[in-house]
């Protein structure tokens, strides 16, 4: 089966972390995010992946190459300028076949049962099956209303609470577009090539108006859009709580701490997991690595430092007596002694935070 991953965005919501690193390869549990997606697809029989890219595409291709490492074939479709969701997939039309294919949003971390969705799609003989997930607040998403036979009746992009209340008596109003589709490639005949075009606002509503059969598959599996700093941290917390399954490198200690190869932790270090410590990391005397902290490869933490609920990318150096809580720190940063970084602080790659600095978001 073929799958298209839409991964051409600029990653603006995750800046400054994505100025140098395209969002598809930001580290999640110390591995490029798109690798988790590819491994998930492979588990469900996908043997060809088409990656739609735009921003810093060479960095992504360098990591993924032809896909052989993951047991599948990877093709690349490059957008010269942003084409929207449907336009981006149309741009890869030369790689399509005649069979139904998957489309996967490049922001999504999930372990949804893709095989089940494909089976549902075939059973219902739909031209499009949209995966839906339930949320408490649908106002920031695409609300999709379905009837008792799972047929899509209406699309509402980022609905107001007034709109939601209007439909609440007739439909379930908490099912949003999860950004995972099974679809018939023939639907792209209606999409102009080289033009910005949207699934959510144009193609899907147009198909509905023409009387085509669109179905919604409601999933209760873990799902999150990692495209914002808060959600990026939440995704790591979910991984560390075993709410979503991804592959983590390292030896597992006490059931909740992963320690990578060739890492050295002083015997006085206090570990209160869950946490991940990458390869070749060093943690000094009396340092504390507390819950939901992820240290990347080759991170060094000085004595008496305290790290909590923070994600530290590879190559960063943290000095003595530093206190870091609720932060995201990019590649190869230097955090000098006695620095305090508070909740929500984001530090760009290669930054130097001088001795004694106090930063909060």
- DSSP state, residue 216: E
- Could you give the number of structural domains in the chain? 2
CA distance 53 to 10: 10
pLDDT reported for residue 97: 85
Query: Which of 140, 138, 196 has its CA nearest to residue 172?
Result: 138
Domain annotation covers residue 42: yes
Query: Which of 235, 242, 229 has its CA nearest to residue 273?
Result: 242
Q: What are phi and psi of 219, to 5 degrees?
A: -110, 145
218 lies in the same domain as 282: no
Domain annotation covers residue 181: yes
The token pair that represents 107 in the structure block = 């922001």
227 lies in the same domain as 315: no
CATH number of the domain within which 31 lies: 3.90.550.10
How big is the chain, counted in residues? Answer: 361
Q: What are phi and psi of 140, to 5 degrees?
A: -100, 5
206 lies in the same domain as 294: no
193 lies in the same domain as 285: no
233 lies in the same domain as 289: no
Domain annotation covers residue 246: no
pLDDT reported for residue 291: 93
Give residues with Cβ within 8 angstroms of 139, minimum separation 6: 158, 159, 160, 161, 164
CA distance 34 to 5: 9
Residue with tokens 């893709």: 114
CA distance 5 to 124: 24
Instruction: Choose one of 220, 240, 260: the last residue of a domain.
Output: 240
Query: Which of 174, 173, 121, 191 has its CA nearest to residue 151?
Result: 121
Q: Spell 136-168 as b/e; 16+ CB within 10 A means b.
A: eebeebbbbbbeeebebeebbeebeeeebeebe
CATH number of the domain within which 258 lies: 2.160.10.10
CA distance 329 to 230: 13
Instruction: Choose one of 240, 263, 286: the last residue of a domain.
Output: 240
154 lies in the same domain as 264: no
CA distance 49 to 27: 20
pLDDT reported for residue 341: 97
The whole model's pTM is what? 0.90
pLDDT reported for residue 77: 93
Instruction: Choose one of 193, 209, 240: the last residue of a domain.
Output: 240
Contact (CB, 8 A) for 345 and 326? yes
Reduce the DSSP state of residue 25 to 3 states and report it: helix
320 lies in the same domain as 204: no
Note down the domain range covering 292.
251-359
Angstrom CA distances, 150 to 120, 123, 205, 229, 234, stand at: 10, 12, 16, 34, 30
Domain annotation covers residue 62: yes
CA distance 341 to 348: 13
Strand 257-259 relative to strand 251-253, pairing: antiparallel
CA distance 4 to 290: 38
The token pair that represents 114 in the structure block = 């893709």
CA distance 313 to 333: 9
Per-residue pLDDT of the chain (361 residues), as tens digits, is 899 999 888 878 899 999 999 999 999 999 999 999 999 999 999 999 999 998 888 999 999 989 898 889 999 999 888 899 999 999 998 899 889 999 999 899 999 999 999 999 999 999 999 999 888 888 877 788 888 888 988 888 888 888 888 877 777 778 888 889 999 999 998 899 888 999 888 999 999 999 999 999 999 899 999 989 999 999 999 999 999 989 999 998 888 999 999 999 999 999 998 999 999 999 999 999 999 999 999 999 999 999 999 999 999 999 999 999 999 999 999 999 999 999 999 999 999 999 999 998 7
**Side-chain half-sphere of 107: how many Cα atoms within 13 Å?**
19
233 lies in the same domain as 307: no
- DSSP state, residue 192: P
Domain annotation covers residue 245: no
Residue with tokens 């992009």: 157
pLDDT reported for residue 338: 97
272 lies in the same domain as 207: no
231 lies in the same domain as 123: yes
pLDDT reported for residue 137: 84
Query: Could you write out the three-class secondary structure of 150-196?
Result: CEEEEEEECCCHHHHHHHCCCCCCCEEEEEEEEECHHHHHHCCCCCC
222 lies in the same domain as 144: yes
**DSSP of 97-112:** -SS-EEEEETTEEE--
* CA max distance for the chain: 68
CA distance 179 to 120: 17
89 lies in the same domain as 217: yes
Q: What are phi and psi of 55, to 5 degrees?
A: -85, 125
């Amino acid at each position: 089966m073929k799958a298209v991953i839409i991964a051409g965005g600029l990653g603006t919501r995750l800046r400054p972390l994505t100025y140098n690193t395209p969002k598809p390869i930001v580290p999640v549990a110390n591995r490029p995010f798109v690798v988790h997606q590819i491994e998930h697809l492979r588990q469900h029989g996908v043997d060809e992946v088409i990656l739609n890219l735009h921003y810093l595409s060479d960095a992504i291709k360098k990591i993924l190459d032809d896909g052989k490492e993951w047991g599948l074939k990877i093709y690349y479709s490059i957008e010269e300028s942003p084409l929207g969701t449907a336009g981006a997939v149309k741009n890869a039309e030369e790689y399509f076949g005649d069979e139904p294919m998957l489309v996967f949003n490049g922001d999504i971390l999930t372990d949804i049962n893709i095989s089940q969705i494909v089976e549902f799609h075939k059973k219902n003989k739909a031209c499009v099956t949209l995966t839906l997930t339930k949320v408490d607040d649908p106002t920031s998403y695409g609300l999709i209303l379905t009837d008792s036979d799972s047929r899509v009746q209406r699309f509402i992009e980022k609905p107001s609470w007034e709109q939601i209340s209007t439909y609440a008596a007739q439909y379930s109003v908490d099912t949003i577009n999860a950004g995972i589709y099974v679809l018939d490639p023939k639907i792209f005949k209606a999409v102009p090539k080289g033009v910005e075009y949207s699934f959510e606002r144009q193609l899907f509503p147009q198909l509905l108006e023409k009387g085509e059969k669109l179905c919604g598959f409601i999933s209760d599996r873990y799902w999150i859009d990692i495209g914002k700093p808060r959600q990026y941290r939440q995704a790591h917390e979910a991984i560390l709580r075993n709410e979503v399954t991804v592959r983590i490198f390292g030896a597992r200690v006490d059931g909740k701490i992963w320690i990578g190869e060739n890492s050295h932790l002083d015997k006085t270090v206090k570990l209160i997991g869950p946490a991940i410590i990458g390869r070749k990391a060093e943690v000094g005397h009396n340092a504390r690595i507390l819950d939901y902290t992820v240290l990347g490869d080759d991170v060094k933490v000085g004595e008496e430092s305290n790290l909590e609920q923070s994600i530290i990318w590879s190559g960063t150096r943290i000095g003595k007596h530093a206190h870091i809580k609720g932060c995201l720190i990019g590649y190869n940063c230097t955090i000098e002694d006695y620095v305090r970084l508070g909740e929500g602080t984001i530090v760009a790659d290669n930054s130097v935070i001088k001795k004694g600095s106090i930063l909060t978001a």
